[in-house]
Chains A and B, each alone.
Chain A
């Protein structure tokens, strides 16, 4: 044991709340200093700001809160933000699983490069990502010019916002599925084949169940990141209300207009969603533990 967190009072503790609370206080007082640093830091940096924002939102009263949170412009930003992020996360769920599969099971030239480059969205500053995506997918950019003749405009539309969200949420599914897939032994598949299962059946019945929690976790993490994303989406979007304006930009615009109430309320809606997602992700991970054989 590294800590001294069990200071039992020399006198027999009296039954009752007073003795209990004293015990609790002295426990807190005698916490190991690493714990004190951890609690203090989390409190100052995270908990107090979060609680203060929620308090400020509550102060506005439920009527005002509801009115701002469900104003037409707010509803349209939720639509653009949450629906687009969800689609982007699901697309990455499909392709991310495929990439993880390819990386685990096959060898091919350039595999190590592919492996290294997957984490690029984590390492590349989002402003740079937005800048280059906006250029490449613009009507005269490298990729955008291929779509322009068909009347498909990508940059500065909702589609562009979707592309930016796909970019930043790409690594999540790959990185959560890869280790789980790597642990599944090849023998399991071969056993299924020997028993006469087709490749598709093997995938569907043998491989998918154990990796499904990882895929869902990856999708949820990617969704959570895409919903909150600001840097890349603000640059590739034209930020026009009711067209491709996202919720984080609305918060920002409210702040710039000194509308602290509006910013706080939309910000609180986003915070509550983040907390909900965190809960969902933890739940999926706990559920996924069922498949861990140890």
Chain B
């Protein structure tokens, strides 16, 4: 294939098979690890037609799981977006000792195992936890209930917005904001009219990733939810439970919904990246 030839150099011209072999290895590896398993989700869900899939959609536990997953995202995404914006605005404009440390602390949820994150929540809010007795006295249930699942979801999806927005803010620089201030804009106007338009693609990207993680989180939510079907079972938990009970069709029916979420995330991500690339060229 002539299109596989690298740009031009006598050396690589002579060894034109090198790129082809490298491309084949790369594609083969990705196919084996990513593509075939991903295709399998859709194949398994629809290999026996739409019937089993529609049956899954009608299950009560499934519908509750979808509702719970959406509610978790509806709470976690705005809260973490607000925090992420605050943290980004505070951190991007200043250089001070310990700044990298704070950035690392914000990244902590990425490196802490989700199960350990869930365990932490149990140790704070659970029956034997530090706040547990007080919560019990006031009849507030956090662990093995919806609030705990919210906390777990917020924890694991905390860093995304801050992570995406900080580099954009750093790149834009403070000049435009300062100009707006000098022209008499207040903080809110500066943010709304100057900062937000500059960071909008990065922000959207961060929100998208937060949402994907919030809807897909398994480990942390599994620890704190108690996993009661039809009550505290989010969609990923439903997938695992159905699979363990040999209800493979239900498992794949729900998995397809989550798989579509992933496809949606990747497509929007690609579009956003193209946007930023076009902007860079300009």
Contact = CB atoms under 8 A, between A and B. Distances in A.
B255 A132 contact: yes
B112 A38 contact: no
B26 A95 contact: yes
Given A38-B83, A108-B4, A264-B123, A199 B218 contact: no
B182 interface: no
A193 B129 CA distance: 65
A224 interface: yes
Interface string B205-241: 0000100100111110011000000000001110110
Interface residues of B, number: 97
Contacts of B7: 186
A199 B12 contact: yes
Given A52-B123, A106-B23, A252-B223, A230 B266 contact: no
Interface string B246-272: 000001100100110111011101100
Interface string B46-67: 0000000000000000000000
B113 A124 contact: no
Nearest to B256: A128
A107 interface: yes
Q: Is the interface of A mostly helix, strand, loop or mixed?
A: helix
Given A95-B29, A278-B111, A49 B120 contact: yes
Interface string A96-115: 00110111011111100010
Contacts, number: 275
A143 B90 CA distance: 49
B158 A46 contact: yes
Contact of A2 (B93, B102, B113, B121): B93
A50 B120 contact: yes
Contacts of A127: 216, 218, 236-237, 239-240, 255, 258
B217 to A, nearest CB: 8
A49 B218 contact: no
A228 B37 contact: no
Nearest to B28: A95
B11 interface: yes
A270 B154 contact: no
16 contacts: A2-B174, A41-B86, A53-B119, A102-B22, A106-B4, A117-B35, A125-B218, A127-B218, A132-B44, A132-B255, A170-B30, A170-B34, A190-B9, A247-B113, A271-B116, A274-B108
Interface of A: 2-3, 32-35, 37-38, 41-42, 45-50, 52-53, 56, 95, 98-99, 101-103, 105-110, 114, 116-136, 141-143, 163, 166-167, 170, 186, 190, 193, 199, 224-225, 227-231, 234-235, 247-249, 251-252, 255, 260, 263-264, 267, 270-271, 274-275, 277-278, 282
